[in-house]
Chain A
Amino acid sequence: MSVFVLRRLVTLLATLVGASLIIFLVLDALPGNAAQMLMGADASPDAVRALTIKLGLDQPLAVRYLQWIKGLLSGDLGNSYVYGTPVASLIGERLLLTVPLAIMAMAITVTLALSAGIYTAANHNKLGDVGVMSLTQIGIALPNFWFAILLVLLFSVRLQWLSAGGFAGWEDGIWLGFKSLLLPAISLAVVQAAILARVTRSAVLEVLREDFVRTARAKGLGKREVLWSHVLRNAMIPVMTVMGLQFANLLAGTIVIENVFYLPGLGRLIFQSIANRDLIVVRNCVMLLATMVVIVNFVVDVLYAFIDPRIKVHDL
């Protein structure tokens, strides 16, 4: 077991090193000089050069990369070119919005998808199955920003239950913050839930055909008992794999959705920083997203071993 986790940890670290290299090189290869951007088009070449040196942009590539990594490890990410404030606190502030948003979206995704997937599999080829599966078909086809606008039209403009955008913050009570994240979380979740519901359905149907399901029925267990006690745990492996991958999609989705709802989150920070060529912020944000995705997939891998006793032994 511990060997399994250790091996996974090594893979995780190697992935992070690879990701950091790619992020650094790609952003470095982008045309445009941060110093030039900051000073404006009519700045004097001398002033631009002075700023370049001040920002450390004249150093060789390898040195700058190592400095960045050193900063990452010590928590000193440098200052934003645009705001002049430390990148770490800038990101930290934004995470207060994006992390709860991602968790809410994931929770909605999992709840919707598992109940729809299990329900449809248990009622295979019946009316409910066909109906819910048609809905998921629509869900997959929906662009999330468009769906977000529909939600705003309904719940904000017409019913006036929730605000159309902006973030109330957590200071005035958790409920207010929660309310302002509800529509964005639903918009993010619907497409993901539609995909995950279909994965869940086919995973459950596949397990239902296994011999051990027949054995369990032969012991006198009812269909529902068999589903809950024998089928679901076996079906969870493919479902969790997809969940891990969807988490990455969800984070990418926040960039669009936070813009639709004017939410000051990480996604919006990335978007604005790209527009401003605030590359030091972009680089660290992207690295953070990559790290989150890699860690979530690490957790999924470890969970496999908890769910499936065979993995501990075979040490996948």
Chain B
Amino acid sequence: MAERSDMPLIEVENLGVRLNTSRGPAQAVRGLSFSLKRGETLGLVGESGCGKSVTAMSLMGLLPDSAVVSGSIKLDGHELAGLPDAEYCRLRGNRISMIFQEPMTALNPMHTIGNQVAEPLRRHKTYSAAQARSETIALLDRVGLPDPARRVDAYPHQFSGGQRQRITIAMALACEPDLLIADEPTTALDVTIQGQILDLIADLVEERGMSMILISHDLGVIAENVQRMMVMYGGAVVESGPTDEVFRRMGHPYTQGLFRARPKLGARKGTRLQTISGTVPELADLPAGCTFSDRCPLVIDACRAALPPMVEVGPRHGVRCIRTDVSMAERVGALTA
């Protein structure tokens, strides 16, 4: 395709998603905007329930029927929001692919892995059965599955978790998508396997010039794997910017809290892990104003009045907080302490 290279591959503007939960309607995503060029990588960080996965599913067009989507999602300038399912089906697995969190349940136990990897090929390309099969074996080989020619006819239960995740990666890559969405791709895996899988994804993204959106609750994973990042809380982006820049000067009290809550290597024994006080609010009853106001150490009355605007605090680095003067000053203090 001959798109202008400066044109963003994907452009999301003011995306909002309302879900019908058992506790009533909930605004799972609000005012989310970003754009991604070809080959660019973006990280989405946040706790469970912050809207990361809902964002991913809205890009895939796979939200439940009852969800109400507002705003705009454009792929190469074509609007995706409100696209009929039949047309969306031509994009899914073809131009936009997704890797899921649970490799143990993401594969159909009744079908051979070969058939499952070949499915997008047969669906989107005019491959013969034989072509699809040899392409599948090549894909499985590329993602590092041992002995793919023999194991292509095996069933998912005959593989380990890490191997299954390699298989789902092969499946997502089958049609050489422009955009890969990886939703917590290593969370369910052993620590020793996590690094291998992330390296594999990073290699493939670079090799094929794909764009990637990597979703994780793990700041370490984000720091090492993406160029830009967005921190989400309560359905809204609270901080965004180039990964290096955000890690160097964290502006939002929530981002800082997340960073402090990491277990640290070399910490003195018996040191308690720092936590963010309070719990993640239910999306159905978020506080008015800043979504983080109920848990924020720096909260003032003005925070509860309205959702704060994004404040530019550095090159392409935005923070949705009205108290950056204090939070960013404290941050410096905390680093030197």
Contacts and interface: CB of A to CB of B under 8 A. Distances in A.
A220 B93 CA distance: 5
B119 A219 contact: yes
Contacts of B92: 217-220
A220 B91 contact: yes
A230 interface: yes
B337 to A, nearest CB: 45
Interface in B82-138: 85-86, 89-94, 97-98, 100, 102, 105-111, 119-120, 123-124
A171 interface: no
A214 B94 CA distance: 15
A310 interface: yes
A175 interface: no
Nearest to A233: B110
Contacts of B90: 220
Interface in A292-316: 307-310, 313
A234 interface: yes
B34 interface: no
B324 interface: no
Contact of A218 (B60, B157, B158): B60
Contacts of B124: 220
A223 interface: yes
Given A217-B92, A222-B89, A234 B120 contact: no
A215 B107 contact: yes
A107 to B, nearest CB: 25
A220 B123 CA distance: 7
A305 B106 CA distance: 22
Given A220-B90, A222-B85, A212 B107 contact: yes
A211 B106 contact: yes
B110 A309 contact: yes
A219 B62 contact: no
Contacts of A218: 60, 62, 92-93, 97-98, 100, 172
A210 B105 contact: yes
A151 interface: no
Contacts of A215: 100, 106-108, 168, 171
Contact of B105 (A211, A230, A310, A313): A211
B123 A219 contact: yes
A214 to B, nearest CB: 7
B155 interface: yes
B102 to A, nearest CB: 6
Interface string B166-186: 001001100000000000000
Contacts of A212: 105-109
A220 B110 contact: no
A230 B111 CA distance: 8
Given A220-B90, A220-B91, A234 B60 contact: no
A222 B86 contact: yes
B169 to A, nearest CB: 12
Given A215-B100, A220-B124, A310 B109 contact: yes
A222 B84 CA distance: 11
A217 B123 CA distance: 12
Q: For A211, A218, A223, A307, which residue has the most chain B Cβ atoms within 10 angstroms?
A: A218
Interface string A221-233: 1110000001001
B110 A234 contact: yes
B168 A234 contact: no
B108 A214 contact: no
A216 interface: yes
Interface in B171-204: 171-172
Contacts of B168: 215
Contacts of B172: 218
A313 B155 CA distance: 11
Nearest to A213: B108
A215 B117 CA distance: 11
A217 B62 contact: yes
Interface in A218-275: 218-223, 230, 233-234
Nearest to B108: A212
Nearest to B155: A309
A308 B109 contact: yes
Nearest to B157: A310
A177 B32 CA distance: 70
A221 B86 CA distance: 9
Nearest to A218: B98
B167 to A, nearest CB: 11
A216 B123 CA distance: 11
A171 B56 CA distance: 67
Contacts of A217: 62, 92
Interface string B27-56: 000000000000000000000000000000
11 contacts: A211-B106, A212-B106, A214-B62, A214-B100, A215-B107, A217-B62, A219-B123, A220-B92, A220-B123, A222-B85, A309-B155
Given A216-B108, A218-B62, 17 more contacts: A210-B105, A211-B105, A212-B105, A212-B107, A212-B108, A214-B62, A215-B107, A218-B93, A218-B98, A219-B171, A220-B91, A220-B93, A234-B108, A234-B109, A234-B110, A308-B110, A310-B109
A-B complex: 3 closest residue pairs judged by Cβ atoms? A220-B93, A219-B93, A211-B105
